[in-house]
Amino acid sequence: MKGNKKKIELLAPAGDIDKLKYAYAYGADAVYLGLPDFSLRAKTGFDLKSIKEGIDYAHKLKKKVYVTINIFAHNNQINKLSSFLRQISKINADAIIISDPGVLLLVKKYLPKTPIHLSTQANTLNYEAVKFWQKNGVKRVILGREATLEDIREIHRKVPKMQLEVFVHGAMCMSYSGRCYFSAWLNNRSANEGSCTQPCRWNYKLYMEEPLRPGMMIPLEEDEKGIYILNSKDLCLIDYLDELRKAGVVSVKIEGRTKSHYYVAVATKAYRMALDSIFSPFTKGNPSSLLPLTKGEVGRGFAAKFKQAKAELQKIDNRGYTTGFLLGKEGIKRQEFKTSKQISDWQFVGEVIESKGKTIYFKPHNMLNVGDILELLTPEGCYRIKVKEFINPNSEKVKQVHGGTQGIYSFVLSKKCNVKWGLLRKKVG
């Protein structure tokens, strides 16, 4: 089997219209989004009007939008879905992502020409299941996160005409492909309806009880802090993109519709760089490259560019990275037992609004000080900068800028910089 010869699609999350635009600016080929009522993310910022705006924006860029309707629907949701699908049929979504067979039937009824993708929530891990969904009109299957690389290869061998998509980056669920009732049980908020409170991330204390001494609870934890026994590390498969391509995968997906536009931009940029490394030879001056390269790094080409892409993923908050189930051999290394806190040595501090000559105008998101080590991340590159002074909205020079303010601040670079999209971060570790 020669595997997939075409370029892999890079699919990014879009929690609102701004994140959609950042995803495309930083290299996404497509985004996935949905309404809170019908997708597995209740806290997203889309309505029908902004979905249409996003689709129109994407199509002008010759990019795609996939609309998620991947809840496990109750009767009351089915009753509302017909009206929603009639409206979606008018705005030209590039595909609908479903997990429920009943929803599948309604999508086929109201959007007969729109491709249907099967959500990872359907837990598809074998070729017979893929054949079943193919017979029922599904054009792409988003495989369960439990699928190994060999599983993927065999599914592609057995069902070569089915498009295969996999998650390659983002938060992992302790349950089986997200089929979790923990949140519903503890908080009456169901993960399968987009309202997970993530109790798997909580701090727990474990006790044992000896049958002849009922009520005598002996703590099992090593100290008073408890343990995070259910807390998974984050998925990261950037090292296995070429293997996934050869196995037959046509689309790789980043998790994170509720995460910040900084996360979306950086993760998308990193995977864009990595994919470009696979499909085109490295050349000096390639606009996809990030930090300036030394002569030695230019010589190493592919490896240097890949190293930069991986370094970007350490500059977004993460719980440590795992390859999940892909290789089938990590065991307890998939878990982070000491903390559930997301950490990074870099902090997002500002969003560029515009640039004029050498002047960069930005909206602050966290505190900045003169002398901080800053990086300006744009779709074209990443630039290390040092600011001598900030200018506040009253045109006054200041040494410090606080996050949460509504005003637009600025600073001057040593060289002209035409920045349409830009994010500022500072070194904190």
Higher-confidence residue: 177 or 28? 28
* Whether residue 151 sits in one domain with residue 32: yes
* Whether residue 181 sits in one domain with residue 161: no
Q: Is the pLDDT of residue 6 over 50?
A: yes
> Does a structural domain hold residue 390?
yes
**What number of helices (H) and strands (E) belong to the chain?**
11, 22
> Does a structural domain hold residue 224?
no
* Whether residue 244 sits in one domain with residue 147: yes
* Whether residue 106 sits in one domain with residue 56: yes
- DSSP alpha helix (H) spans, 175-240: 182-187
Quote the pLDDT of residue 314.
93
Confidence of residue 290 (pLDDT cuts 50, 70, 90): very low
* Whether residue 368 sits in one domain with residue 324: no
Higher-confidence residue: 379 or 192? 379
- What's the rounded Cα separation, in Å, for the pair 114 and 104? 12
> Does a structural domain hold residue 3?
no
Specify the pTM.
Answer: 0.85
> Does a structural domain hold residue 341?
no
Q: Do the beta carbons of residue 392 and residue 398 sit within 8 Å?
A: yes
- What's the rounded Cα separation, in Å, for the pair 94 and 79? 24
Higher-confidence residue: 282 or 59? 59
> Does a structural domain hold residue 245?
yes
Structural domain tally of the chain? 3
> Does a structural domain hold residue 357?
yes
Higher-confidence residue: 4 or 61? 61
Q: How many CB atoms lie within 10 A of CB 386?
A: 12
Quote the pLDDT of residue 22.
98
- What's the rounded Cα separation, in Å, for the pair 3 and 207? 50
Q: Which two tokens stand for residue 16?
A: 């609102």
Range of the domain at 196: 177-219
* Whether residue 184 sits in one domain with residue 167: no
Q: Is 399 helix (H, G, I), strand (E, B) or coil?
A: coil
Q: Is the pLDDT of residue 426 over 90?
A: yes
341 CB-near residues (< 8 Å, 6+ apart)? 319
Q: Which two tokens stand for residue 74?
A: 């109750």
- What's the rounded Cα separation, in Å, for the pair 141 and 129? 10
Most confident among 4-18, 189-203, 296-310, 363-377 (mean pLDDT): 363-377
- What's the rounded Cα separation, in Å, for the pair 225 and 238? 33
* Whether residue 295 sits in one domain with residue 187: no
* Whether residue 45 sits in one domain with residue 103: yes
Quote the pLDDT of residue 338.
60
pLDDT in tens, 364-392: 999 999 999 899 999 998 999 989 999 99
Mean pLDDT, residues 120-132: 95
Quote the pLDDT of residue 287.
36
> Does a structural domain hold residue 57?
yes
For residue 381, give the CATH number of its domain. Answer: 2.40.30.10
* Whether residue 357 sits in one domain with residue 265: no
* Residue that is last in its domain, among 273, 302, 334: 334
* Whether residue 245 sits in one domain with residue 378: no
* Whether residue 206 sits in one domain with residue 76: no
* Whether residue 81 sits in one domain with residue 15: yes
Pair type for strands 95-98 and 116-118? parallel
Q: Do the beta carbons of residue 253 and residue 167 sit within 8 Å?
A: yes
> Does a structural domain hold residue 413?
yes
Higher-confidence residue: 199 or 285? 199
Q: Do the beta carbons of residue 343 and residue 315 sit within 8 Å?
A: no
For residue 32, give the CATH number of its domain. Answer: 3.20.20.70
Q: Which two tokens stand for residue 179?
A: 């089929």
Q: Is 212 helix (H, G, I), strand (E, B) or coil?
A: coil
